[in-house]
Amino acid sequence: MAALSRRALLLGGSGAVAVSAVGVGGLLVEHDVLPGRVRLDKLLGLDGASAPIPDVTPGARYDGSFTSAARRGAQTAWSLSVPPGVASAGLPLLVCLHGAGGDHRAAFDDLGIDRFLAQATAAGVPPFAVASVDGGEHSYWHPRADGSDAGAMVTDELIPLLRKKLGLGARCGLYGWSMGGFGALRLAMRGAGAAAVVACSPALFTSYPSSAPGAFDDEADFRRQGLHDQGALFPHVPVRIDIGRGDPFYVAVRDFVAQMSPAPAGGFEAGDHTDGYWRRMLPDQLAFVGSHLA
């Protein structure tokens, strides 16, 4: 066999080093030491399956709107669904908070929560109503400098209105995804009186510069309303938090959860910041809500 030249040996060695560096880099990304996990998981197909909306018939749906004082006179639409064959009177209520850029239609049109509710109650989950409401495209469900407060709209206007109009019971839960997941956690921490809270892929930020445009009015607002490093302050309310490991908010949410005591239900699995992942989580999340609202 011919001897390797010094040049070939050096080139071969550099190739091995490059391959090794890629392997080490991948491990560092996998363990969140280096940025790039979201891109890596997507490229490697590690985000998991995208769940479809169940092909089932939902229960009765009610739609309406009101002029919200908390949102400075904004006309605010809402939708509510009950399980098939169940009357609204006396039912507990789950309020759904939409993500950024959405409105009250997203929970029904994009996630199909009314059909997931029908599926859940058919499988034995105790019945409850689900409602969604317009919160503003980038309100982040907290008080803003312009005087609006989408969170107060939920607790002070929407819930009393729905109870009066449809005869709902006293128990109430909060569910939100992305911006709405942040809103659900924040409202629970501000004493909303929820009997159960579910935050799916909550939009948590580690600093004001890293926050989404429009999420907070300024850095002082972030310090007041952001939840960074506040996991230990979460009240003793039944809570479930889910997020995909390929989600851009994964590290911030993981750190928030690590501060909580007791630890919340839910956890981390393959998934991205997508409707498909949020739908995949809904069956277990609705079962969690039903067990605590019953």
Number of domains in the chain: 1
Number of residues in the chain = 294
17 vs 248, which has greater pLDDT?
A: 248
Alpha-carbon distances, residue 170 vs 113, 160, 163, 294 (angstroms) = 21, 10, 8, 11
Dmax over CA atoms of the chain, in Å, equals 90
Among 34-38, 155-159, 210-214, 218-222, which stretch is predicted with the lowest mean pLDDT? Answer: 34-38
Over pLDDT 90: what percentage of the chain?
83
**CATH assignment at residue 258:** 3.40.50.1820
Q: State the DSSP string of 1-63.
A: -PPPPHHHHHHHHHHHHHHHHHHHHHHHHHTTSSS-HHHHHHHTT-S-PPPPPP-S----EEE
Would you say residue 23 lies in a domain? no
Has residue 165 been placed in a domain? yes
The pLDDT-based confidence of 166 (bands split at 50, 70, 90) is: very high
- Residue 14: the pLDDT is 41
Alpha helices in 60-198 (DSSP H): 106-109, 113-122, 150-152, 159-166, 179-189
d(CA 239, CA 249): 18
pLDDT value at residue 23: 42
In a domain, 282, yes or no: yes
The string over 264-290, giving b where at least 16 C-beta atoms fall within 10 Å of a residue's C-beta and e elsewhere, is: bbbeeeebbbbbebbbbbbbebbebbb
For the ranges 40-44, 190-194, 241-245, 274-278, the lowest mean pLDDT is seen at 40-44
In whole angstroms, give the CA distance from residue 171 to residue 209: 38
**Which pLDDT value is given to residue 32?**
45
Domain presence at residue 284: yes
pLDDT value of residue 90: 98
pLDDT above 50 for 28? no
Query: What was the pLDDT predicted at 47?
Result: 61
What residue has token string 């069956």? Answer: 283
Domain range holding 245?
Answer: 61-293
Both tokens of 15, joined, read 């190739």
pLDDT at residue number 269: 96
Mean pLDDT of 256-276: 97
Answer yes or no: is 271 within a domain: yes
Q: What does the pLDDT average to over 239-257? A: 97
pLDDT category at 48 given cuts 50, 70, 90 is confident
H-run or E-run covering 130: strand 129-133
Please give the distance of CA 236 from its chain centroid, rounded to a whole number.
Answer: 19
42 assigned to some structural domain: no
pLDDT at 15 over 80: no
Q: How confident is the model at residue 41 (pLDDT cuts 50, 70, 90)?
A: low
Q: Would residue 185 count as lying in a domain?
A: yes
What is the pTM for the complete model shown? 0.85
The pLDDT value given to residue 49: 85
Question: Does the pLDDT at position 5 exceed 80?
Answer: no
Q: What is the mean pLDDT of the chain?
A: 89
- Residue 66 is predicted with a pLDDT of 98
Q: Tell me which residue of 212, 193, 203, 216 sits closest to 278, measured CA to CA.
A: 203
Query: Taking residues 45-66, what's their average pLDDT?
Result: 90
Q: Would you place residue 158 in the very low, low, confident or very high pLDDT band (cuts 50, 70, 90)?
A: very high
pLDDT of the residue at 263:
97
Burial label for 22, CB within 10 Å (0-12, 13-18, 19+), is: exposed
Whether 50 shows a pLDDT value over 50: the answer reads: yes
| Residue 48 lies inside a defined structural domain of this protein | no
- pLDDT of 262 > 90? The answer is yes
